[in-house]
Structures are given as C-alpha cells and as structure tokens.
A and B are shown apart, each in its own frame.
Chain A
C-alpha cells in the first residue's frame, strides 16, 4: 500500500458506486411514497370541502352544530349580552389574543370549528365560567367569542373560511 493508492483522485469506479447508490435511493423513495401517501385524505374526502347552511331558523341565543369535513362547526346566534361580553375583554387577558371583531363577520353570528384545540374533543355550549364553551375531556374553557380562557388548550377555536350568501344563508368552506 502506498500513499498514491489511498489519496488518488476519484476514479470511474467511485463514480459508479455513488451513481448506483443514488439511483437505488431514488428507487426506494419512489416505491415508498405511494405506500405513505395512500394514508392521506382521499379524493372523496377532499371533495366534501364546503357546505351551505340556512341560518334563518336559528333563534337568538342558540347554537347549531353542522358537520363540515367530518367534524363539527358551531353556528352561534349570539345575544346582546354575549356580544358585549366578547367585545369588552382586554387583549392582555387572552392566551391567544384576538379581538372579537377579528373573529366574526357580523357580530350576532359566531362561526367556529367545534373542535377543542387541545386534543380534539367537541366542547359543550353555554357551559364553563364564561358561558361560551367547556371541553369535557380536559377542562378547557372558551368565552362567547370562542377564545381560550382556561385549561390546557393553546389556541382559540378556529374560525373556518365562510361567506354570507344572503342574510339567511352561509357557505362554510
């Protein structure tokens, strides 16, 4: 063994090793991907991405739960008192600071995804210290704007994309 054989420039054989290895790695990845991706949401699931809801029949003070993307969306017709409570909160008191105006398009209608941001349970309406929602799983408490106030959840209830088609019809998604 001489120094010449251990320090020589990369030759044809080194190139072939690396090229073969690289092609093998790409091949393994190309075969693995379909087996991984098959578990992602399928075409039929993605197709059910939006719903239209008639909100004309929801009286003041009531919360209606509709199913969107396999999970619940809360449509809450808020009372004057609830709107006031939601608006009169100091941002400094909030864990995930958002004003009520940032969370609604029309003050009397609060539309949020009904999934606790902790571990995904469905919170119960008109319950908890702030009479917004209370999650029975781990005790997270939300206010009348669906903002997190107590308990382990890190974020406010999510506001889905929605649009008022008419005064009594809303499209979620």
Chain B
C-alpha cells in the first residue's frame, strides 16, 4: 500500500536530514499520505485507542515505579500508604494505571471482535492477525505480573494459581515452578522478579505494536465490506486529515469513559480483598481474577482434570492464532455472511456467559453450564468456522469499496 515516499521537506535543513535519515518521510507516508478505505466505521478507531492506552500505561507505570518499592516487606505499604496518600497526585496516577489496564483490555477485546466479525484475519492479513495474538498474550502476561505487585491477598492468590499452572506439566513442572518462584512457594523473590518483568514487557509490547502497524501498512486495512482496495483514487481517502480527526474524536470519547472510571468509581473493577496484605497461610474465600480473564478462568474450572484444564485454558487463547486457517470462506465480512454473523453473536454471548460463570463461586450447576459454554467456545472455532467455510450461502459482495459506499448513498437518498 505504501510505496516509496514522495515526501520532500520544504526547508534546507529538512532536506539535509531527510537524505541522511528519512524519518519524516516515513511518518508522512505512514500517517499522512497513507490511504485508508473510505468506508471504515468507528470500529476502526480502536487501533488508535489502543496505542493511546499503551502510551498511558507506560507513562503512568514509569511514574509509579519511581515511588513503588518492589520488596515483599514494603510493596503493600508503598502503594496503599505512600503512593495513595503521600505522593503528590499518587492516587490519581495509581488509579489511572489500574483502571487503564481494564480499559486497555476492553479496547483490545472490541478490536479483536471487530477483526473476527469483518474477517480481518483472512489473506493477506494472517501474519498481521498473528502478531495481534502475540500482543494479546503479552498483554495478559503483563497484566498478571502487574496485578501481583500490590502484594495484597488477591495478588498473592493470583500469583499462586497462575504459576501453579506450570506444575501441571509432567516431570519438569514442579522444578519449573520453583524456578519461577525462586523458592518453594510464591514469596519475596517472586515479587521482585515480577516487578522487573512487569517493567520490561510493555516495551516488548511496544515493539510488537511496531510490527503490527508495519504489517498493517503493507497489506492495507480491511474494511466493513471486506473487499480489497482496487482503485486508490476511488476507494480510499488520505489518513490525514480523515482518519486522524476521526481517531482523535474516538480517543476523546474513550477517555471520557476512562476519566469517569478514575474519578467516580476508581475501585469498582478492583477487588476489596486486595486491600488486605498478602498472607501465604490464608487464601481469600473467593478467588477471582480481574474481569478480563474471567472467561478463561471459567474454562479452567470447567475441566475436572488438572492437566487438561490447563491445556484448555492455553488452547482457548492459542486457537486464535489458527483462525486464518480454520475459516477458509473467501468472503471476509460478516455483513455478507448471515450464518457466520449469527454464530459470531452466539460466540460473543458465550464469552460473556463464561465471564459471568468465572466470577461466581464454583458449584455443580455452574460447572455444568461452564462445560456447555466451553464446548460452545471451542465449537465456534473448530466446527462452525470450518463448516461454514464451504457450506455457507453468502450474499453477493460489492465490486469495490466505492460501489459499496455509493450504493449506501443511493439507498439513503
């Protein structure tokens, strides 16, 4: 999509610089002249929203690290006494960071569901999609490591449950867990290393985001009609001002939600148990992860076997990487796939249902429902996608993006 840049700096200094390091030209071809499909809807603003959330998390995180103490004896006090009460605006930055993680995931889930709905994983965007799955995995790892840092009761329980997933691996599982812990249980060495890794991973995410954007700019964006750009003049508009202004507007609206969380209900998404300091001898009565991991937690609990439960949990995420080969239907957008569209919304309902069950106490009835929904979750990928690849009667797709836009205009007129 982006050929050699035709960008020529106006000033002599600019030209001198550009002939030695063409950074301005790269920026210009990526974010100014870059052609975007003219039929994009607001679902295509979440890439920009996610970029801003990543930046917000890194800035607030670096600031918090200036005041946080990554030691088991001081971590809890350094947040709940020091940062929340003593540090100037510490309360604000801390609430920005904790609620920012939640909104980061909210935006990521909308972004991923957008990709599923409009078939953004289909050729030629398979690698773009897989890089996205890698970013999602890194995000869950980073969020988990960060959740341990306050060293509250729920931090400790979460660290214990997640690191114990490794003990399900035959033979090397237990030595591996001891290696992760630096002891025979989650303890002081675990916290300190988790802090180091929590500081590292966001920069790894940023690097993968760079690859994600790079891959995107090679293939060009998908769009609601799922037809490729055929004529740049007719089918696209320039990134600046069209996409830039739209993205800024969407980010602003999203930040209203973010500000509302921070200023009005900063603890709504947090767990009261985490305001108790970690105690290795007591596990809180009701252990639940943060909302964005609840569906996977429900899948883990649905399987009555330890190893298979962990395998299902991992498979539930890793299966996303195989979606480009599970769904072979040449029609990308669910707009033209009535059966796929129906099952897509069933899948969304299943994810929300699993999330609800993950938040509830385990009992027999809940476990039964969790098993049915787990079957549904994997069924969407392993049955619905392959079967609809070849059997679905799709609606006719427009000849081009311009035709789709013009057809909509005439229908409205």
| Distance from A65 Cβ to chain B, minimum over Cβ atoms (Å) | 5
A136 to B300, CA, bound (A): 15
Tell me whether A40 and B281 are in contact in the complex, defined as CB-CB below 8 angstroms, given that A121-B161, A154-B305 are known contacts. no
Complex contact B187–A120 (CB within 8 A):
no
Verify if B396 is at the interface (C-beta below 8 Å from A). no
Verify if B343 is at the interface (C-beta below 8 Å from A). no
Tell me whether A119 and B164 are in contact in the complex, defined as CB-CB below 8 angstroms, given that A72-B280, A154-B305 are known contacts. yes
Among A45, A65, A69, A120, max chain B CB count under 10 A is at A120
- The interface residues of chain A, by DSSP majority, are classed as loop
Tell me whether A45 and B287 are in contact in the complex, defined as CB-CB below 8 angstroms, given that A70-B280, A121-B157, A139-B362 are known contacts. no
- Binary CB contact string for chain A from 130 to 147 against chain B (1 if under 8 A, 0 otherwise): 000001111100000000
Complex contact A120–B182 (CB within 8 A):
no
Complex contact B164–A70 (CB within 8 A):
no
A137 to B281, CA, bound (A): 14
Q: How many residues does chain B have at the interface if contact means C-beta atoms less than 8 Å apart?
A: 38
| Distance from B247 Cβ to chain A, minimum over Cβ atoms (Å) | 41
Complex contact B287–A70 (CB within 8 A):
no
B182's partner among A42, A114, A122, A136 (CB-CB below 8 A) is A42
| Distance from B167 Cβ to chain A, minimum over Cβ atoms (Å) | 7
Verify if B283 is at the interface (C-beta below 8 Å from A). yes
Verify if A71 is at the interface (C-beta below 8 Å from B). yes
Complex contact B179–A152 (CB within 8 A):
no
Complex contact B182–A39 (CB within 8 A):
yes
Complex contact B161–A120 (CB within 8 A):
yes
Complex contact A121–B283 (CB within 8 A):
yes
Residues of B within 8 A of A (CB): 157, 160-161, 163-165, 167, 178-187, 189, 193, 280-287, 300-301, 303-307, 309, 362-363, 367
State the total of A-B contacts with C-beta under 8 angstroms. Answer: 98
Complex contact A120–B362 (CB within 8 A):
no
A136 to B180, CA, bound (A): 24
A-B contact list, 21 entries, CB within 8 Å: A39-B193, A42-B189, A45-B182, A45-B184, A45-B187, A70-B184, A70-B185, A71-B185, A71-B280, A120-B167, A121-B161, A122-B280, A124-B283, A136-B283, A137-B287, A151-B304, A152-B301, A152-B305, A152-B309, A153-B306, A154-B306
Verify if A126 is at the interface (C-beta below 8 Å from B). no
Complex contact A119–B182 (CB within 8 A):
no
B161's partner among A71, A137, A153 (CB-CB below 8 A) is A137
Complex contact B282–A122 (CB within 8 A):
yes
Complex contact A114–B284 (CB within 8 A):
no
Verify if A67 is at the interface (C-beta below 8 Å from B). yes
Tell me whether A41 and B281 are in contact in the complex, defined as CB-CB below 8 angstroms, given that A139-B362, A152-B301 are known contacts. no
Closest Cβ neighbor of A37 among chain B residues: B179
Closest Cβ neighbor of A36 among chain B residues: B179
Which residues of B lie under 8 Å from residue A36 when comparing CB positions? 179
- Binary CB contact string for chain A from 22 to 57 against chain B (1 if under 8 A, 0 otherwise): 000000000000001001111001000000000000
Which residues of B lie under 8 Å from residue A94 when comparing CB positions? none
Which residues of B lie under 8 Å from residue A118 when comparing CB positions? 164, 306
